[in-house]
Amino acid sequence: MKIKKISENVYEIDKEKCMNVPVKIFASEKILEKIKKDDSIQQAKNVACMPGIQGRSIMLSDAHQGYGFPVGGVAAFDTEHGCISPGGVGFDINCGVRLLTSSLDKKEVEPKIKEVINDLFDHIPCGVGKESKLRLDDNEFDDVLNSGLKWALDKKYADKKDLDRCEENGHMKTADASKVSLRARKRGRRQLGTLGAGNHFLEIQYVDEIYDKEIANKFGIISENQIVVMIHSGSRGLGHQVCGDYLKKIEDEFPEIFNNLPDKDLAYAPTDSTLAKDYLGAMSAAANYGWCNRQIISYETRKVFSKMFGVDLNLVYDVAHNIAKVEKYKIDGVNKDVYVHRKGATRAFGPGHKEIPKIYRDVGQPILLPGSMGTASYVLVGTDKAMNETFSSAPHGAGRLMSRHEAMKKFEGEIVRKELEKKKIYIKAASVRGISEEAPDVYKDVDDVVKVSDKVGIGKKVCRLRPLGVIKG
């Protein structure tokens, strides 16, 4: 396998064997060496073999090995002669991030950080299998799945501004609750408004450095040391079950496809099949659930901040990291609709795109890139170059360096907690194991990941954020 350097931070693997398109890797030399240590490059090559893939199979600077598709991977497929793959979205459908700003300064919140975090922890269920207090009947749950944030608005968990500042306005029109299994519904019904476990978190952060003051101000980020809140969660057990259900359905319905795959986790349904449309309906319903989940967490967070500080929290943006949807791009000189699969990647529309909220349209879409607990997170902005180079995609985080199993063996949760407290970062977690699995050194250096995106021009740096307090499952 020959990896060619195209330009600074851009590499390519030419078509070979079954590959229909080349693989393009956006990484520094340092990051590329780390990427080579797992099977993510082979996974990207496998993706390049899938029918109807357009342009290139993409690996971003946070790429690492996933199930089927690499995490930090992007691929676009022809809407008529291509395919839709649950593995190209992943098990945590609409795992995503939202950022809320406050009028508070670091010096106002830091002395009370333990109190704030503890109160938030009491209001927001965290951890594996934790349930919320919400109890929805069948019709109301269908409304969540079909309507997304429109349901939250009707129930006064959201205001109109929240919907305006959310990808897809928090509502995938392709959602079809009838395509979500009873088992998936059962898993998700009592988890709405819960943080979950793994790499999901709620962080109280402060603005550490502003790189573009004009764009930052446009996003409501006014000054250094300003307090913001970042929420990272997804569709919980419901999304996981939807993915598992449809992988099994594809295996049963298309054995001739499934049995000839280089990796069974790449299972796909042809775009013209009923099963592809059913999966899209179920996936979109799970995405709507994910947006409602983060909205209810935001609602509870706003209540705590209002009670303790007398301030409101304003939504900057909410963006999905694991999703598939139809978008239009110029490919080989022709404008065409494609199914863009983003797995561990953030949409990054450049200035002027009609799907960007009007308030941000002249500068580009906010990109929210969380780090690992104890490290920085970033706000970037989408660019025209991303639209041309990566199907409007940018990295979604730091990207793992080691598995959770390895992390458990290497890091002791209590030691990690104490090290974070030495850095004046207070952490409250549902389990010590969760701290071990998500220790900062488990991930790539987020500064390096962001630097690549900024230098290549697929995501321009706006500001850097640092944590004061963290809630984890």
Tokens coding 15: 């078509």
Q: Among the options 123, 321, 396, 405, which is catalytic?
A: 396
**123 in catalytic set:** no
Q: How many CA atoms lie within 13 A of 406 on its CB side?
A: 7
Task: Give CA–CA dist 102/94, Å, rounded.
Answer: 25
Cβ neighbourhood burial of 349 (10 Å; 0-12, 13-18, 19+): buried
SS3 36: coil
Tokens coding 466: 């640092």
3-class secondary structure per residue, 409-427:
HHCCHHHHHHHHHHCCCEE
SS3 472: strand
> Closest Cα partner for 28 from 372, 395, 420, 425?
395
Tokens coding 149: 């944030």
Task: Give CA–CA dist 48/192, Å, rounded.
Answer: 36
- Beta strands 53-64 and 23-26: pairing type? parallel
Would you give the distance in Å from CA 67 to the centre of its chain?
A: 16
Relative orientation angle of helices 138-147 and 274-309, to the nearest 10 degrees:
100
Q: What is the dihedral of CA 132, 137, 140, 142, to 10 degrees?
A: 100
Q: Letter for the amino acid at 45?
A: K
Handedness of CA 396, 398, 400, 401 (dihedral sign): positive
Contact 402, 410 (CB under 8 A): yes
SS3 316: strand
Task: Give CA–CA dist 125/471, Å, rounded.
Answer: 10
Tokens coding 354: 């009609």
Neighbour tally for 388: CB within 10 Å: 14
Tokens coding 20: 């229909």
Task: Give CA–CA dist 16/22, Å, rounded.
Answer: 8
In DSSP notation, 253-275 reads H-HHHHTT-SSGGG--EETTSHH
- Beta strands 426-429 and 96-105: pairing type? unpaired
Measured in degrees and rounded to the nearest 5, phi and psi for residue 308 equal -85, -30
Catalytic residue list: 396
